[in-house]
Chains A and B, each alone.
Chain A
Amino acid sequence: MPDIFGMPVAVLLGQVLLGLINGSFYALLSLGLAIIFGMLNVINFAHGAFYMFGAFVTWMVMSWLGLSYWPALVVVPIVVGAFGAAIERLFLKRLYQVDHLYSLLFTFGLALVMEGLFRHVFGSAGKPYPVPQELTGVLKLGFMFLPVYRGWVIIAALLVCVATWLVIEKTRLGAYLRAATENPSLVQAFGINVPLMLTITYGFCVGLAGFAGVLAAPIYQVSPGMGSNLIIIVFAVVVIGGMGSIGGAILTGLSLGVIEGLTKTFYPSASSIVIFIVMVIVLMLRPAGLFGREA
């Protein structure tokens, strides 16, 4: 195969694919963050903790209840989402009236508490989780060997992201959500139960983080710190895409994963900061983000 910038195309394609896997997690998580920010005006610092919670619940239902990966893929997002909905009802709801800073501090604190609890109970070391039987093995793609499970992660994440985007952009429920983002009190005056909608939205987005946690369990170590490692990058993704832009969050998540992957081939030592460099450049040129609406 030919070379591009001195790199064999096969290596490049391989990195693009690996980047897409990371990008899938960025997209799933930043999608939830973007919706939560758009609808609830909450900067949800606990999102990484919910992702970690999802991975741990996946591990717990396997170790304690013998529930395998496939049922966990359905059950865990529901459990995590319900937990999120309860958090919204009990705590976050009371903070909408006050400055955004309070909900940011609350979710940040919640993330620390959750992480600390899991570290106390399970220790800092990761718990192993097996790749489900059906998804073991590798795909021969010509330019690389792709573990089947990683291919599945990309497909599953994309499907869920696109489905979420379609619901928000094309359905009646989505129209309520978009309208309530703009003018909640008017939507409420039309007879729509906006507080209930906020709870469901938060629960759903936290469920998405839980779903990402299930997908992550067989790839990454299930460990208390796994969320906080990721959440900072995911916040950068949301800022680059434009706070509150849903399609933007998905596209930016995937493309930044790829950019990160490519940086690993060309200049490995910059790969951990490249996303933040992109963020700085985007903020200087388009403060509202690539897909955000200028206020």
Chain B
Amino acid sequence: MTDSRERRLELKGLHSWYGESHVLHGTTLHVNRGEVVTILGRNGAGKTTTMRTIMGIVRKRKGEARLDGHDLIATPPHKVARLGLGYVPEERGIFSSLNVAENLTLPPVVKSGGMGLDDIYELFPNLEGRDKTVGTRLSGGEQQMLAMARILRTGADFILLDEPTEGLAPVIVDEIAKALVKLKALGLTIILVEQNLKFATASADRHYVMDQGQVVDEFTNERLVSDMARINAHLGV
């Protein structure tokens, strides 16, 4: 079904290393335009590394990685964002020496069609009126919203979202889930790394399961919901 749509990201046999340690062992996956795809897997399976390898933060890599036909391996790290990729890291990456307004406007606009401040405050009302607050003084949930908001402002249309709900209270998780549904409706393409299956299945189209640096299984969302036993076997829950 989804395969008839336009391919945006294509990883083939992707390997990457942190120093001497070989983390990705031939990861292969693809993401189509407008899809929300999750990467599931145990801790240390290589989910975050996959994102960091796509972004070029992990430099030692081999194999094929293309976004809209551009060779990501050959792209210098500061030019990756200009292809429309926006990265929301697991640790959120809010800067303590910048206030909320500075954090929000830090990433340069890379494409037209990004959200204006009004749209952002509508999506995340908590951020409004907090301009002068030091970024890291926000609550964990607000920092997560800020980390997403600053990427949405840039016009990036392919978002890598690493564990957005980690350590957050259920009410906040609900808010982020709602935001994700809205982003999908806007036509953004999203890769989501997530431990919370309920959150993951709420908006995703497909799921990849990673183990030891490789993709070991793939589900459509319908399959996942109807066959939780199979995914649980992978995740060892």
Write the B15-52 contact mask toward A (1 if CB under 8 angstroms, else 0): 00000000000000000000000000000000000000
Q: Is the CB of A189 within 8 A of B81?
A: yes
Instruction: Provide the A25-60 mask, 1 if CB < 8 A to any CB of B, else 0.
Output: 000000000000000000000000000000000000
The number of residues on chain A lying at the interface, defined by a beta carbon within 8 Å of a beta carbon of chain B, is 19
Known contacts A175-B106, A186-B89; decide if A191 and B82 are in contact (CB<8 Å).
Answer: yes
Interface status of B219 (Cβ within 8 A of chain A): no
**What separation, in Å, do the CA atoms of A249 and B94 have in the docked complex?**
25
Stretch at the interface among B2-10, B96-104, B202-210, B228-236: B96-104
Q: Does B132 lie at the interface of the complex (its beta carbon under 8 Å from any beta carbon of A)?
A: no
CB distance from B152 to the nearest CB of A (A): 13
Interface residues on B, range: 20 to 34
| Binary contact track A156-183/B, C-beta < 8 Å → 1, others 0 | 0000000000000000100110110111
Given the known interface contacts A175-B106, A176-B106, A179-B106, the answer about A188 and B77 at a Cβ–Cβ threshold of 8 Å is: yes
CB of A108, distance to nearest CB on chain B (Å): 28
**A64 adjacent to chain B (CB < 8 Å):** no
Contacting pair A182 B96 (CB below 8 A): yes
Q: Given A175-B102, A185-B57, do A190 and B97 touch, yes or no (CB 8 Å)?
A: no
Q: Return the chain B residue nearest A192 by Cβ.
A: B78
B110 at the interface (CB under 8 A from A): yes
Q: Which residue of the partner chain B has the closest CB to A175? A: B102
What's the nearest-Cβ distance from chain A to residue B138, in Å? 16
A182 cross-chain contacts in B, Cβ below 8 A = 95-97
Question: Does A63 sit within 8 A of B, measured CB to CB?
Answer: no
Complex alpha-carbon distance, A175 and B110, angstroms = 18
A183–B95 CB distance below 8 A: yes
Identify 8 residue pairs between A and B in the complex whose beta-carbon atoms are under 8 Å apart, listed by A's number: A181-B97, A183-B93, A188-B57, A189-B80, A191-B78, A191-B108, A191-B154, A192-B108
